[in-house]
Amino acid sequence: MVFLLFVAMSLQDTVAKPYVPIGCFKDTMKEPRPLPKLIENFRGGRLDWHNINKTIDACAQKAKEMGYLCFGLQFYGECWSGPQACLTYDRDGPSNESCIHGVGKENECTDYRILNSADRSMTHHTSGQPKCDHWSHGFASNRWYRFTDKAGEAMADECVQSMRCQTFMSGWMSGTHPEVVDGIVPRDVCFNWQNKSECCYRKTPIRVRNCGKFYVYKLPGNTGCYTRYCGNDVVPVGCYNDILSDRALPDLLDSYRGAINWNDLENSVIKPCAVKAKENNRRFFAIQFYGECWSGPGSQNTYAKYGPSSRCTTTAPFVGMQRANFVYMLTEESECNNYKILDAADRSQFHVTNTAKPIRCDHKRLDENSWYRVVGAAGNAMADQCVQTWRCQTLGTGWFNGTYPKVSDGIQRGNVCFSWNRKCCYKESIVRIRNCSSFFVYKLNNDIGCVNAYCGNGQ
C-alpha cells in the first residue's frame, strides 16, 4: 500500500501549484498509520482518470482547509492527512514503487546525501588529520545534504569555534532555518577562523529547504581546505511519558517558565537547557511543561522508561506539556563514555621499576585519538605530584602538573612533567583533561620519547 505524499508549499492562493511532491511512502496499515486521517474520498465517480492532477489539487485544497501541511493520495482517490502528518509520513519507510506515472521522483526531500559522522558535530574538537568538504577530497558539490545522528540534526546556525568538527575553519549557517511553507531559500554559510570578521572569515551561498521533519542543504564543495560544514549539537529524540512520583529524569536543572518567550521557545527554553545539561555532563535532557529543564545521572538509560507519549508539541520547537518530556540528546564528543583504560598495577607511581621485565615506554604506543582513564591498581587518576624516577615500570615518570577542571570547564589543557635526572620536570608535554564528574579522562600526547610513561596515582 503506497502513498503519494505532498507538502503544501505556500498557503497563498496566488501560487499556481501550492504544493510540491515529496515522494512515495509505504503504509503497512499498522496503527498508528503514517497519515492517520482520511480527509476526503474522491473514489466512486469523482475521479478524473485522465487527469490525476485534479484530484491532487482537490486533496491539497481540503488539507489546506483543515490546516494540514502534508497530505497524501492513496488508491488514486483517497486523500489522507493529519495534524502530525509532516512528522509521521515516512514512518513505514520509503516505497520504491512508482506511485503515479508522470510524477517526478527526483526531489531534494527524498534524494539527498547523509552527513552523520560524530566528528562533524560543532562540539567535536579537531585532532589528528583534519577533514575538508572540498570536491578534491571526494565531497560531491552542489548536491542536497541532510545532517543526522551524531553529526547533529541540522547545520549549526550559530558561530562554531574554529578547530571544531574535525577541520580548521568551521562552517555554520548564518540566518535562521526556514519553515516548510518558505520552500527553498538562499542562505550563507560562514567559515570561522579564530573569530575573525565576526566568525565569517570565508562565506559561501547555499540553499536550504525544510522538509517537514528535517532540513536539507544544497552545498557547494569549492570553499577550499580546510573548511567543513558543521552539524549542531542537539538532536531531538522524542516525546516520553513521565511520572511525577518517580521521574524518568529526576533532576530539575532549571525552570524558564517565568521567562518563556512563546514566539521563540528555541532560544528561551531549549538552548539554555542544553547549556545546563552540558555543564552538568548529562547526555540527555528534556523539556517538560513548556519551560522546565530536566535531566539526571544515567539519563541515557532512564529517559524512556515510561514509554512514548503524545503530549508534546507536534512541530518544532519541540517541548513537552504536562507529565511528558520532550527529550533531546547532546552530540557532544563522548570522551566521558568512550575511553580506554590504563589499569596495570605496575603503572602506579610507587611501583619500583623491575628491570627484569620489559620497561614501559608510552612513546608512540598510545592512541593519540583516544581518551584514557586511570583505574584499578594503577590509581583513579594520573599521579599529580612529582614521581621518583624508576617508578611505574618506566624510567622517566610522567605526572600531571596542571590545574584540575570542574565539570563545567569542559576539555582543558594541562601540563604533564616527566621526572628524570633528579629533575621533577626535565621534560614537559601538553595533554587534554576533562572532568567527567566522578573521574577524569585524559587525551595524551603520544610523542614523548623513550623511555617515558604516564604514571597513575595508585598506592
Residues forming the site for ligand NAG (CB under 6 A): 17, 51, 53, 96, 102, 161, 194-195, 386, 401, 404, 406-408, 417, 424-425, 435, 437-440
Residue pair 214/148 in contact (Cβ under 8 Å)? The answer is yes
Q: How far is the CB of 313 from ligand NAG (least distance, A)?
A: 31
392: nearest Cα among 415, 418, 368: 418
**Length of the chain counted residue by residue:** 459
Specify the pairing of strand 251-255 against strand 292-295: antiparallel
Q: Dihedral (C-alpha) 170, 175, 180, 181: value to the nearest 10 degrees?
A: -150
Q: Which is nearer to ligand NAG, 54 or 365 (CB)?
A: 54
**SS3 of 273, please?**
helix
Query: Closer CB to ligand NAG, residue 9 or residue 444?
Result: 9
Considering beta carbons, is residue 195 or 354 the nearer one to ligand NAG?
Answer: 195
For residue 196, the minimal CB distance to ligand NAG (Å) is 9
What is the Cα–Cα distance from 81 to 75, expressed in whole angstroms?
A: 14
Of the two residues 201 and 439, which places its CB atom closer to ligand NAG in the complex?
Answer: 439
User: CB 113 → ligand NAG: shortest distance, Å?
Assistant: 20
Grid coordinates representing 270? Answer: 531549549
Nearer to ligand NAG, 150 or 434 (CB): 434
Q: How far is the CB of 430 from ligand NAG (least distance, A)?
A: 12
Provide the minimum distance between the beta carbon of 405 and ligand NAG in the complex, in angstroms, as a whole number.
7
SS3 344: coil
Least distance in Å: CB of 346 to ligand NAG? 23
Nearer to ligand NAG, 345 or 424 (CB): 424
- Percentages of the chain per state (helix, strand, coil), in multiples of 5: 15, 35, 55
Q: Which residues contact 380 (CB under 8 A, 6 or more apart)?
A: 374, 439, 456, 457, 458
Q: Closer to ligand NAG by CB, 84 or 457: give it.
A: 457
* CB under 8 A, 24+ apart: contacts of 319-322: 319/265, 319/269, 319/270, 319/287, 319/288, 319/290, 319/291, 320/239, 320/240, 320/242, 320/286, 320/287, 320/288, 320/289, 320/290, 321/288, 321/289, 321/290, 322/288, 322/289
Work out how close the CB of 381 gets to ligand NAG at its nearest, in angstroms, rounded to a whole number.
7
CB of 177 to ligand NAG, least distance (A): 22
SS3 call for 232: coil
**Least separation in angstroms between CB 97 and ligand NAG:** 6
Cα end-to-end distance, the chain, whole Å: 68
Q: For residues 158 and 129, what is the distance between their CA atoms, to the nearest angstrom?
A: 25
**322: which 3 cell numbers?**
504536562
Nearer to ligand NAG, 136 or 438 (CB): 438
**CB of 145 or CB of 420, closer to ligand NAG:** 420
- Nearest to ligand NAG of 65, 158 (CB atom): 158
Residue pair 221/141 in contact by the 8 Å Cβ criterion: yes
> Are the beta carbons of 387 and 420 closer than 8 angstroms?
no
Shortest Cβ distance from residue 316 to ligand NAG (Å)?
26
